[in-house]
Amino acid sequence: MTAVDLRVAQRPNAPMTTYRYDEYDAAFVSERVAEFREQVNRRLSGALTEEEFRPFRLMNGLYLQLHAYMLRVAIPYGTLTARQMRRLADIADRWDKGYGHFTTRQNLQYNWPKLVDTPDILESLADVEMHAIQTSGNCIRNVTADHFAGVAPDEIEDPRPTAEFLRQWSSLHSEFSFLPRKFKIAVTGAAHDRAAILVHDIGLRVVKNDTGEIGYQVVVGGGLGRSPFIGKVVGDFVPREDLLAFLEAILRVYNRFGRRDNKYKARVKILVHEKGIDEIRAAVEAEFAAMDRSAFDHDPEEFARIAAFFAPPPYESLPATSALLRAAKLETPAFANFVDVNVGAHKIPGYAIVTVSLKPIGGVPGDATSEQMRVLAEASERFGFGELRVSHEQNIILPHVKQDDLFALWSMLDAAGLATANAGLVSDIISCPGLDYCSLATARSIPIAQAISKRFSDMSRQRRIGKLGVKISGCINACGHHHVGAIGILGLEKKGQESYQITLGGDPTFSASIGEILGPGVTAEQVPDVVEHLVDYYLAEREEGEAFIDTWRRIGHARFKDVLRREGEDGADI
């Protein structure tokens, strides 16, 4: 009996396409909850000081933020079941304030949990096979992946079995629990990068060699933050059987040589930058050659066991296109717009991938109310085999929707305020929580996103503009990925006021680039004007089929700077 058959036999209602805990996983997470409960009790009794307790709470995803504690829940490679999404909603209602924030690391954050309630929250999460382990601290964080994994037509292989394999390898890895700094890994198995792998500490791209063998291109040293870098290739083709040992070698080199004297220079990107990729590659290859690799021997059966959890759901045989969909689009223009913008091609005929935007006009990017979470859970059960994904763009994906069902799904989403047809458009803004919640922030980011979104509230105008990535961070740590926004916005403090630095030309895909600064900082009120001027200039200059980034690359940064300077002279005060 295969792992999937076994699971179906044991849990007939279990979704078909996600990893399920075995007894070891369940016991491990349960033990961690009990351990943290004891640590919280010791903290409350005074047996532990805050200094002693802080590493424990961070290891369990609990931060202290501007107004309250914040709990970051891991969503491995952004995959959720309907049951898990419902539980996230229930937790939001019972222990938080009725909503959650989906993050650029495909996780979920609660903004108002009480310390005393956190063990109960973690226990409730464990009950649905979730936790908050390694969502903080200088360890290997939640492994992220392409949110269209397993369903994208351009895919060589579903990256989730690899991501799950790495999750198991990296969870409480004794050697890598106290790295110089945090460490983030992203995986894609597709021809187009939707997981921003080139700006992660390690990016993995599933590739095929000339003989058709599957392996990985391994990229190291990418990252955003204070010093942004595009990752560099450290291994062109690493066979699957060598993957764990190769990553182990990279982490060992980083653990040994990464700087611990200065936290701002402690990420692996700095090591790669300072030493150069050739020296790092030589060190990794030497470590790989010298290490006892028997501990990392690839177990094809184990990989197959994991991969079986991600087996395709029982799709129906359907025509490639749907007459029902065609008719509904003709009848309902708003639905047609939704399909044109938020619905993507699926590898199975008759099916579609649906992006549910968490960016309503003027809304808080990435936030969902508990009621919306329940609607999403129900929608996934009715129309998508009970599976959901969280994208690093802070949206929710329903990866297996029959084209015939799209209108019914849209109607359901629309009634819940979840049918904004802006996926990938100018109002689909990535934004960190910024100074509205985050204790590290130097300026607010959410109100900037809201103001830009409102400025472009005309959806037909947004569609005319086309794909445009606007990304906003409230501090130099760059959780809002501003460096890789075609238009990036960074909130800083300048003379006791919030000030915003604009960058242009960032790109998070395989053609990755870091944005270039446009000029002096502007005020919050000026940001929408600046963005509008930039967009108008792009529209005036673009050639057929060009996205914003293409036009910027063709005509150059200086031209965009010039237009703003001219607008300033004309009295636009920017």
Partner 1 sequence: MPVFKHPQILIASNLTDGEVVFLGPSGWERDHRRARVARKADEAAALEALGKGDISANRVVDVYLADVEIGSDGAPTPLHYREKMRVKGPSVRLDLGKQAGEGAL
Q: Where does this chain bind partner 1 (CB under 8 A)?
A: 43-46, 49-50, 64-69, 97, 111-116, 364, 435-437, 444, 446-447, 450, 496-498
Query: Radius of gyration (Cα) for the chain, nearest Å?
Result: 23
Give the separation between CA 445 and CA 514, rounded to whole angstroms.
20
Hey, how many other C-beta atoms are within 10 angstroms of the C-beta on 98?
A: 13
In angstroms, give the least distance from the CB of 397 to partner 1: 25
Give the separation between CA 195 and CA 199, rounded to whole angstroms.
9
Closer to partner 1 at the Cβ: 112 or 538?
112
Closer to partner 1 at the Cβ: 54 or 467?
54
Pairing outcome for strands 232-239 and 144-145: unpaired
- Beta bridge partners, 229, equal 223
Closer to partner 1 at the Cβ: 155 or 498?
498
- Residues, the chain: 574
Closer to partner 1 at the Cβ: 161 or 474?
474
In angstroms, give the least distance from the CB of 274 to partner 1: 33
Distance of CA 156 to the CA centre of its chain: 21
In angstroms, give the least distance from the CB of 225 to partner 1: 20
In angstroms, give the least distance from the CB of 541 to partner 1: 34
In angstroms, give the least distance from the CB of 114 to partner 1: 4
Structure tokens at 362: 């003027």
Pairing outcome for strands 79-81 and 387-390: antiparallel
SS3 content of the chain, % helix, strand, coil (to 5): 45, 20, 40
Say if CB 377 and CB 89 are below 8 A apart. yes
Closer to partner 1 at the Cβ: 97 or 173?
97
Give the separation between CA 421 and CA 428, rounded to whole angstroms.
9
In angstroms, give the least distance from the CB of 117 to partner 1: 9
Closer to partner 1 at the Cβ: 7 or 57?
57
485 closest CA partner among 418, 540, 547: 547
Closer to partner 1 at the Cβ: 122 or 270?
122
Give the separation between CA 87 and CA 107, rounded to whole angstroms.
14
In angstroms, give the least distance from the CB of 458 to partner 1: 22
In angstroms, give the least distance from the CB of 30 to partner 1: 24
- Provide the angle, in degrees to the nearest 10, between the axes of the packed helices 323-331 and 406-415: 40
Closer to partner 1 at the Cβ: 38 or 236?
38
- Provide the angle, in degrees to the nearest 10, between the axes of the packed helices 277-290 and 268-275: 110
What's at 222, amino acid-wise? G
Closer to partner 1 at the Cβ: 431 or 501?
431
| 3-class DSSP state of 136 | coil
In angstroms, give the least distance from the CB of 509 to partner 1: 30
Structure tokens at 453: 């979104």
